[in-house]
Amino acid sequence: MRKTACNSVAKSTGSYARNSKLYSCPISIGTPGQKFNVALDTSSSMTWVPSILAPLKYRRTHKYRRYKDLFSTTHTTNHKHFDVIDDSGRVTGYLSEDRLTIAGLTIKNQSFGEALLEPNLFRGTTNDGILGLGFSNLEEEPSVFDNMVSQRLVTAPVFSVYLNRYGSGGPDSVLTLGGTNTYYCEEEFTFTDLTAPHRWQFKIDRVQLSNGNGIFSESGCQAVIDSRSPFIAGPFEETRAINEQLGGILFQGQFGLYNYKFNCSEVFNLPDVEFIVNGKKLSLSSRYYVVKMKLYGEDICVSRILAMGWRENDGPDWVLGLNFMRAYYTQFDKGNRRIGFAKARSFPKT
C-alpha cells in the first residue's frame, strides 16, 4: 500500500477560489522522469498532460510544464487521437505510452494523452493535467490504476481519497493506492454496491434535512462521486426545495447565473443536509455546503447545492463533489465493485 500527498490547486487569495479548487498529486512521466501536477478525476479514466507540441496560440503561459517525448528514452507513440468534452471544457490531442510514476510506483507502458488543446478551467492554476481514476470501458486504454493492478504494483484493487478542508490543520490531502489508511477517518466505513458498470455510481435511499423540515428523493435516486466537481449538483426541483427549506434567497450572480444565498451571521445555525446511503446518514453541516465569497465588493454566503445542468439518460440524479469528499474519507473498491464512506478526521488549525 502506497500513499502520496495531494496538494490543493489554485490557492488564490479569494475565498471563493480557495473553496472551489481542485486537488492534485505529483507524478512523473518518462525516462528520465518529467514532473507534473495532475488533478484527481474520479469521473474519467483518462490521464493527460500538456504536450510540448501544442500550438503557441493554445498554450496557457510559458511557465506550465509540458511533456517532451523526445526527451524520454521509454516513449512510444500510440498514433491514436482523442477529443474529450465535459463540463470543464474541451481537451484534444493524441495518445502516447511511457513510464508513469506516482507514489514511488512505476507503471510500464502507460497510455496517456498529450494535450494540444486544454480546457479554460486550468487557466490561472498551477495544475498541469488530469489523473483519471474512473472506470475504463472496453474501447478505452487501461487506466493508470488498472495497470497498477495488472502489473501487481498494489496488493488490492482499492484506492482511497482524503481531502483536507482549506484553512484546517492536519496533513495534506492524501491518495492511498492499494488500500485505506484509517488514520484519516473517525468511524467505520459504510459500504454500498455500485449500480453502473463504468461509473462510481451508487444508490441514495433519500435526502433529508436534520431538522425534519424536508425529505427528498423518497423513492431513492442515483449518485456519483466526482472529484472534479466543486459542488453538489442534483435535480432542479429538489435542489430548489432544499435551498428554500434552508432559508436561501434566490439571486442572480456572476455571468447571469442564479443561486441561493444565506445570511452569513446565521450560516452555522443551518440544519445538516443528510444523504441516506445503505441505511446510514451521511450528514453535511453548513460548513461544507455553504461558501463565503465576495460579489461586487460585498461578502455573501452562497449555497454549493446546485441544480444539475444536464443529465444522461442512464446517468446519476446527484453529483457529490469536493465539498462532500472533504467531509467523508472515500474508499473506491474496484475489486468488490463498491464504494465506502467514513467521516473524515478533523484536525485542529495550525
Active site residues: 41, 226
The H or E element spanning position 71 is none
| Residue that has been written with the C-alpha cell 471544457 in this structure | 89
- Three-class DSSP category at 287: helix
Q: Are 288 and 168 in contact (CB under 8 A)?
A: no
- 32 prior amide bond cis, ω within 30: yes
Q: How many other C-beta atoms are found inside a 10 Å radius of the C-beta of residue 166?
A: 14
For 264-273, b/e burial (b = at least 16 CB within 10 A) is: eeebeebbbb
Q: How many other C-beta atoms are found inside a 10 Å radius of the C-beta of residue 13?
A: 6
Cell of 68: 517532451
Q: Are 333 and 341 in contact (CB under 8 A)?
A: no
Residues 223, 228, 234, CA angle at the centre, nearest 5°?
35
Which residues are paired to 209 by β-bridges?
273
H helices of the chain, where? 15-19, 144-150, 236-245, 286-289, 322-327
Residues 342, 46, 308, CA angle at the centre, nearest 5°?
60
Identify the CA nearest to 87 among candidates 198, 229, 235: 229
**CA–CA separation, 290 vs 305, rounded Å?**
8
Half-sphere exposure of 267 (CA within 13 A, CB side): 20
Distances in whole angstroms, Cα of residue 301 to Cα of each of 181, 247, 266? 34, 12, 10
Residue type, 218: E
**CA–CA separation, 91 vs 83, rounded Å?**
6
